[in-house]
Amino acid sequence: MLSVLQVLAAVTAFSWSASAGTTMTVTNWGDNPSNLPALLVYTPSNLASNPPIVVGLHPCGGSGPQFMAEFDIPAFADQLGFPVLYPTSGVEDGINCWDCWSNKSLSHNGGGESQGVAAMVSWALTHFNGDPSRVFAIGASSGGMFGNVLAATDPNLFAGIASWSGVPAGCFVGATSSTPANPDQSCATGAKARTLSAAQWAALALGSYPGYTGARPKMLITHGTADTVVSILNFNAQLAQWSTVLGLTFTRNFTCDPTANWKLIVYGDGTKLIGFEVAGATSCRSMTRLRSSSSGFWAAQQPRPWAQPPLRQDNPFHHGDSQRRLWLVIFFNVLRRSDTDRSPRQFHC
């Protein structure tokens, strides 16, 4: 696995030119028990040998092509040489939302959407000669919720998962869908988060793959305090769930420059579970711009695993949403770093 310095060097060296790779659609990736639509695949022109595989999970109302266009992951793929899988969910309540509620999807090889996405990963590992120890997923809102589901149903496949505006795995148990139109909103509003204990959340995750004792993915959990659709209480519940599953205890909080509104929450030594609470942010599709000083977050003299590169005029993110950009850089710097990298600066803010 790449070391944190290698990842930082790669990200800092980004030219931020327009994506130069190719896209293709795949319909015959293998198991597809829930009849998921065609898979969109982005392949960089400089595909690495034995590359990582990254899965991008769209929010409710979105699609694989929408998520590719809205979150510029290909800019990272072009520099690091990995393919990106963009699946599209089935339709619930008239809109595309991931199945985070049914027993089929909440069970390992249970015949639901999670099994279909797992089959996509297996296809990609074969097609690209990918590295099975470096499979990652990144999801927003419904995609973040489904990322938690995949961490529970297929921990054997994923090395790391990043979620923004997600909920714990199993949060929608008992509902009839996992959309904003579902009459049971006890999950999204945080009502369940208020009542279930960490042990109960952990039991829901562990119940998705009974008897599994192998490695589990790193988790990067992010949420905005002003999210009115998915309560911030679900952020705390996710941290409670995965810290219990992973056997980790809370270490400490950090308020990091330049983002006075971003709080880093560390569990254990920070290599398996961290959270970012973003004060004032809503969902990841409607973030406000960040402010920063040249002597703070951008400063090169104190590199951090989550530090993003200086803005350049040719950076396609320059006129976009800087909080979304920051989240992507955090993902590719923190989630992909070596488990053995525990330098004293790792949590320096």
| Percent of residues, the chain, with pLDDT higher than 90 | 62
| Percent of residues, the chain, with pLDDT higher than 70 | 75
Whether 277 and 235 have beta carbons less than 8 Å apart is answered as yes
Confidence of residue 320 (pLDDT cuts 50, 70, 90): very low
Tell me which of 329 and 34 has the higher pLDDT: 34
Q: Which of 195, 137, 136 is nearest to 171 (CA)?
A: 195
What's the mean per-residue pLDDT of the chain? 81
Confidence of residue 79 (pLDDT cuts 50, 70, 90): confident
What digits encode the pLDDT tens for the residues 97-137?
Answer: 999 999 999 999 999 999 999 999 999 999 999 999 999 99
For residue 310, the 8-state DSSP code is P
> Is residue 248 pLDDT above 70, yes or no?
yes
Confidence of residue 324 (pLDDT cuts 50, 70, 90): low
> Is residue 88 pLDDT above 70, yes or no?
yes
Residue 29: predicted pLDDT: 98
Q: What is the domain extent for residue 13?
A: 4-347
Whether 273 and 264 have beta carbons less than 8 Å apart is answered as no
Point out the residues that are catalytic: 141
Number of Cβ atoms within 10 Å of the Cβ of 289: 10
CATH number, domain of 181, equals 3.40.50.1820
Say what the pTM is.
0.83
CA angle 233, 239, 242 (to 5 degrees): 135
Residue 271: predicted pLDDT: 87
Tell me which of 331 and 65 has the higher pLDDT: 65
Phi, psi torsion values for 117, nearest 5 degrees: -70, -40
What digits encode the pLDDT tens for the residues 146-166?
Answer: 999 999 999 999 999 999 999
Residue 20: predicted pLDDT: 80
Q: Which of 198, 155, 148, 186 is nearest to 169 (CA)?
A: 148
Residue 305: predicted pLDDT: 34
> Is residue 317 pLDDT above 50, yes or no?
no
Confidence of residue 172 (pLDDT cuts 50, 70, 90): very high
Q: Which amino acid is at 72?
A: D
Domain count, the chain: 1
Confidence of residue 72 (pLDDT cuts 50, 70, 90): confident
Residue 254: predicted pLDDT: 84
Phi, psi torsion values for 106, nearest 5 degrees: -90, 10
Residue 306: predicted pLDDT: 32
Residue 211: predicted pLDDT: 97
The whole-angstrom separation of Cα 119 and Cα 115 is 6
Residue 19: predicted pLDDT: 63
The whole-angstrom separation of Cα 138 and Cα 160 is 9
Q: How many CA atoms lie within 13 A of 200 on its CB side?
A: 9
Mean pLDDT across 314-335: 55
Mean pLDDT across 199-228: 95
Mean pLDDT across 66-95: 91
Q: Which amino acid is at 310?
A: P
Confidence of residue 39 (pLDDT cuts 50, 70, 90): very high
Tell me which of 92 and 256 has the higher pLDDT: 92
Whether 179 and 92 have beta carbons less than 8 Å apart is answered as yes
Q: Strand 262-267 to strand 250-255: parallel, antiparallel, or no bridges (unpaired)?
A: antiparallel
For the ranges 101-105, 178-182, 255-259, 286-290, the lowest mean pLDDT is seen at 286-290
Element (H, E) at 193: helix 191-195
Residue 148: predicted pLDDT: 98
